[in-house]
Amino acid sequence: MNDYVKHVADNLQRQYGHEPEYLQAVFSWLESIAPALEDDSRYEKLDLLTRMVEPERLFAFSVPWVDDAGYAHTAHGYRVQFNSAIGPYKGGLRFRADVTPSVVKFLGFEQTYKNAMTGLPIGGAAGGADFDPRGKSNREIMRFCQSFMTALYRYMGADTDVPSGDIGVGSREIGYLYGAYKRLSGRSESGALTGKGLTYGGSLIRQEAAGFGTVYFLARMLQHQHESLEGKLVAISGFGNMSWGICRKVTELGGKVVTLSGPDGYIHDPDGVATKEKFDFLLQMRQSGADKVEPYAEKFGVKFYPGKKPWEVPVDIAIPCATQNELDVEDAVMLIANNVRYYVEGANMPATTEARRLLCLSPKILTAGSKAAGSGGVAVSALEMVQNSLRYSWSRSEVDRRLQGIMSDIYDASAAAAEAYGLGYDLMAGNDIAAFKKIASAMIAQGV
Ligand code: GLU
C-alpha cells in the first residue's frame, strides 16, 4: 500500500471504525483500484481518494408515524448524497430494520461507482430508514412514506437528488412517496423519483431491469467462454424484485433457476422457477409482507430447508441477490467444492471480504461484482429520467434494447480495464478501475 492510500485508510478507520459495512466497501475498493493509482499524480495532490470515499452530504432525520391502533413510533431516516461529479445524486431507499448510517453510506458509495458505468449522467446516493415493513398495513405504509417524504422533499428534485426503491421499497411505496412529494413541493415533477407506476411517468422494464440486467451481464461472460445459458443450473438467493427478473430471463434463455431463499431458509425446485404461475407467486409472497420463502415449497410441493442457505446445492452459476454479507467463507468453500463456474453478484456487496477473496482467487470460477452486474435497475432508472425529461415514453423493446446495450458496454469496459492493467479476466477490479478513472476525471475537471 502506498503512503497516500495508507493515510486515507487510517483516517477512515479513525473516523468510522464503528461503521463496518461502509469500511468494508471502501477498503475492498481501495484494494481493487490500487493498480491505477500511479497513473496520475493529481490523484494524491488533489486528495481525490478522500474526496471519493467521503459522502458529500449526509442527512439524518426522525420519521414519526402512527400505527393503526393509534400508537406513535419513530424511525431513523437517512439520505446520503455521496457524489455528484457526473450528475444529480441518484440511488435507492431501503426500509428495513437493519438500516444504519453505515449501511446507507456503503450503499451510496457502491451506487456512485455503479452509476458511473451506466454511461448516463447520474451521481450516487442512497437512503432509507430502520422501519420494518413486515406485517404493516397499507395505511401504515402510506403514513410512513408521507412522514419520510416530509423530511426529505426539500433536499431532492430532478436535478438535485432522485431516489428510487431498494429492499422494502417497491412500486407501492414509490407511489406514496411520489404523491407526498408532489403535494409538498407543489410540483408535478416526474423526474424527482424513479420506479414510478406506468400511469404516472414510470418506465417499461424498470421492474424487470435489476434481474434482466444481471442476466445480460452473465450472458456476456458465458459468451466469452463460448457457452450459453442453455441447460445451465442457477442458484440464487432472495425472492424479491431482482430474483423475480432473474428467474424470468434465465428461463427465457434456456437455463434453470433451482433455488430461492428468504430469512427463513431456502427452497430447492429441481424443475426450475420457470413458469408464469411461479413468477407470479414470487410477487405474491413479496406483497404478503411476511418475508418468508417457505410458502413456495408448500404451494409447489418442493423441499424447504429451514435456516439454510442455497449455496449447498450443486449448480453451474451462483447469483446472490438478497443482501450484504449474506455469503460467508463457509458458503464460498461450498461453492468452490461444488464446482460452481460463475459467481455473479446481484445484491450490493453480498459476500464478506474473505469470502469474496476466496472466490476471486479460485482459478475455476469466473466472478463479476455487483457494481457491474447489479446495475440494471439503476440503468433503467436513468432511462426513466431521460423519458421524463423528454415527456415521452419509449416502448418495452426500446428500453430493453438500451438496457442490453448498457450492460454490454459495462462488461466491455470492465474487461478492457482488467486487460489494460494486466489483471487478466478480473472483471471486478476492471470495473472498479474504469469507474474510478471516470469519476476522478470528472472531479479533476470541476476543480477542488
Ligand atoms: N437500489 C437500486 C440499486 O441498487 C436502484 C437505485 C435506483 O434506481 O436509483 O441500484
Q: Rounded mean pLDDT of the chain?
A: 97
Rounded to the nearest angstrom, the distance between the alpha carbon of 11 and the centre of ligand 1 is 29
**How crowded is residue 416: how many other Cβ atoms within 10 Å of its Cβ?**
13
Residues 86 and 154 in one domain: yes
How many structural domains are present in the chain? 3
Low-confidence ranges of the chain (pLDDT < 50): none
Which of 378, 403, 406 to mutate to test ligand 1, by most ligand atoms within 8 A of the CB atom?
378
- pLDDT tens digit string along 238-292? 999 999 999 999 999 999 999 999 999 999 999 999 999 999 999 999 999 999 9
Residues 127 and 261 in one domain: no
Comparing CA positions, the residue from 350, 360, 322 lying closest to residue 241 is: 322
SS3 31: helix
Rounded to the nearest angstrom, the distance between the alpha carbon of 115 and the centre of ligand 1 is 9
Residues 234 and 367 in one domain: yes
- Check residue 2 and give its pLDDT: 85
Question: Of all protein residues, whose CA lies closest to atom 8 belonging to ligand 1?
Answer: 378
Note whether residue 403 is domain-resident. Answer: no
**How crowded is residue 271: how many other Cβ atoms within 10 Å of its Cβ?**
11
**Ligand 1 lining (C-beta closer than 6 Å):** 90-92, 114, 164, 166, 194, 348, 377-378, 381
Residues 216 and 306 in one domain: yes
E strands, 293-398, in order = 303-306, 317-319, 342-344, 366-368
Angle made by CA atoms 337, 340, 341, in degrees to the nearest 5: 130
Contact criterion met (CB below 8 Å) for 336 and 227: no
Domain residue limits at 50: 1-54
Which element (helix H / strand E) includes 442? Answer: helix 427-445
Distances, alpha carbon 219 to alpha carbons 58, 116, 214, 230, in Å: 37, 22, 9, 10
Which of 164, 177, 321, 324 to mutate to test ligand 1, by most ligand atoms within 8 A of the CB atom?
164
Rounded to the nearest angstrom, the distance between the alpha carbon of 382 and the centre of ligand 1 is 10
Q: Round to whole Å and give the CA distance between 384 and 394.
A: 9
**How crowded is residue 355: how many other Cβ atoms within 10 Å of its Cβ?**
23
Q: Round to whole Å and give the CA distance between 227 and 170.
A: 34
Comparing CA positions, the residue from 51, 55, 64, 52 lying closest to residue 19 is: 55
Rounded to the nearest angstrom, the distance between the alpha carbon of 266 and the centre of ligand 1 is 25
Residues 302 and 281 in one domain: yes
- Check residue 1 and give its pLDDT: 57
Contact criterion met (CB below 8 Å) for 95 and 104: no
The three cell numbers of residue 193 are 423519483
CATH number at 94 reads 3.40.50.10860
| Phi and psi angles of residue 205, each rounded to the nearest 5 degrees, phi first | 75, -5
Residues 179 and 255 in one domain: no
Question: Of all protein residues, whose CA lies closest to atom 10 belonging to ligand 1?
Answer: 378
